[in-house]
Structure 1
Amino acid sequence: MSYTIALNFEDGVTRFIGCNAGETVLDAAYRQKVNLPMDCSDGVCGTCKGHCEQGAFEMGDDYLEEALSEEEEAEGQVLTCQMVPASDCVIQVPVASSLCKTAVGSVDATLASVERLSEDSLELAVDLDDEAGLAFLPGQYVNIRVPGSDHTRSYSFSSLPGIRRASFLIRHLPQGLMSGYLSERAAPGDRLTLTGPLGSFYLRQVTRPVLMLAGGTGLAPFLAMLEKLAQQGEEGNGCDQPIHLIYGVNRDDHLVKCEALEAFVERLPEFSYTTVVVDEQSQHPQRGYVTHHMPAEVLHNGDVDVYLCGPPPMVDAVLGHFREQDIIPANFYYEKFTPNAAEEAA
């Protein structure tokens, strides 16, 4: 038996390794040429300390409290030299990937299709060269090199990890480099290079109510997250916590993938969603901003994990709203995207 371990480095790079039954994470990493921090490898120094965000594991008793205190262990801290996984795990490694002699990976792909979803959004589908797909955490993004240039643009997956056909929602900008390529020159069979996965915005284990806030093409990572939760439910490991999505756009015709959201309502019994349109001339039932349509019942008196992905003004507005209303979620994960910046996820 082998488990998949996601190592999330502090520079945003994620590296996936396989860990055999009975093998420590440190040994598995070194076997796959990822040099995690270590000194003693005997549970004495604490150099290999990280934080396990999700997954089951055994630590045993062969380490000193000076290396890992009871308080640290209770907070999810681990020593990778002693940690033996009993399931797939996600571990935060508090150093840059370059210091561990590893780097972000890349995969080549073939353009399968480009669909115009609305006046301001496109859906890109690519077939990865690796039939096993690309490992990533739902919510993460990749950099895609724009054909004919040396520039990249960053996009969150809207599809599941581990499948060959990957999809992305892309904001259509009249003068955008990627938009121009996709709307004017792209053709099935074009070759693309994807670099990643990257980012700390991804679905954690659901242990309490979840509130998802999406702006425009910031819907993409939530489609991947919801698909993952739906798949888990179909495998008999369903989520019993309420999940509510508030999806905001500027105009009525900017709302996309609503059919997919309706399908998730059927597949996820605890899922519901609200759509919001900014345009004051709209006849949509909910007009304004997402902060205008955030009732107390979706905030659960702060016992809620909030995920937010949208353009910077939306993110700043939500952060300001929470401060003004003295709302302190149990956990708050957010990603700003800037359409023309290769460093940000869109």
Structure 2
Amino acid sequence: MSTLRVTVEELTVHEHPDADALELAQVGLYRAVVAKGAYRTGEFAVYIPEQAVLPEALIAELGLTGKLAGAAADRVKAIRLRGELSQGIVCRPRALSGVDLAGAHEAGADFAAELGIVKWVPPVPISMSGEVEPAGDLLPWIDVENLKRYPAAFPEGEPVAVTEKVHGTACCLTYHAGDDRVQVTSKGLGAQRLALVEDAGNLYWRAVRGHHLPRVAAELAGELGASRVGIYGEVYGDGVQDLGYGTDGRRDVPGYAAFDLAVEVGGAVRWLDPQELDRVLAGRLPVVPTLFSGPYGARRVMALAEGRETLSGRAVHLREGVVVRPLTGRYSPELGGRAIAKVVSGAYLTRKGGTEYE
């Protein structure tokens, strides 16, 4: 899940192809449906992204009472309006009426706290929860930002790998070579520096033991001279999320596909480049499918985010989206960290009955 920021953005306004009273306000590569004439290209407005939870007063002010997602009808979710995908809310809240919007945009100000907006945290099923313990020496997973919000993250033509984004739950393993110690956590718990105490009934530990991750991590530590190894993979299947890939996640060994790997060597942590990850995990662990490897093109990536999944080999349902990273890892000034971003498919965002457990 991306970082929640409520920012001021410069708009590009497009005609709605199928509604005379509506237009499309573009922020980055996102588009949000707005009333015709409410905004003009070059103007500034506040952008509230998906997965934001709004306070009741702001919902009423924006005329959205009863129209948002969730049991309390307070969560921003992608929808289709007259056939066009609308992601997020473009607005000018009264609470910010005295703010210099152009200046706030230039400064990159975040108004989430001022507007009482918080990030939605999905509920955690019993199979994914359990007893936890402090784990300050984890190698945690990171938040991956959406490419639509940061369209300049990759220059056209940069060599990249585009992998399929699998709809499961992120399982994060840290292996400590010094004392042969294994820590297992979820993305959400890992961010809190908490690890799950081993439990044979826990989904993450079933995946870790069933796919022999500790053995693989120990082998990699020896081969790469690493003091710590982090293996990050998606645990999936029916009973895990609403997209099961033809696998039953309730069985003893749920589906698993690795998507990233980090190693600490000489006190420095590095993420393996895509081709190195595929090479060192070949024959050891299932890996998420690579859909494309070559020069980056925004249109190509957006197209790859749509369609049917390839993980099962049978295209049993829609694709969640894609993840993009350079073939040679680097820092991204646009993202403020590692160069890696995701694109989520419109069909996935607007499906009915979806689950989003972390």
Structure 1 and Structure 2 fold alike (TM over 0.5): no
Q: Which fold has the larger relative contact order, with Cα–Cα distance below 8 Å and residues 6 or more apart in sequence?
A: 2
Smaller-chain TM-score bracket: under 0.3
* TM-score relative to the length of structure 1: 0.28
Looking at secondary structure, tell me which structure has more helix per residue. Answer: 1
* TM-score relative to the length of structure 2: 0.27
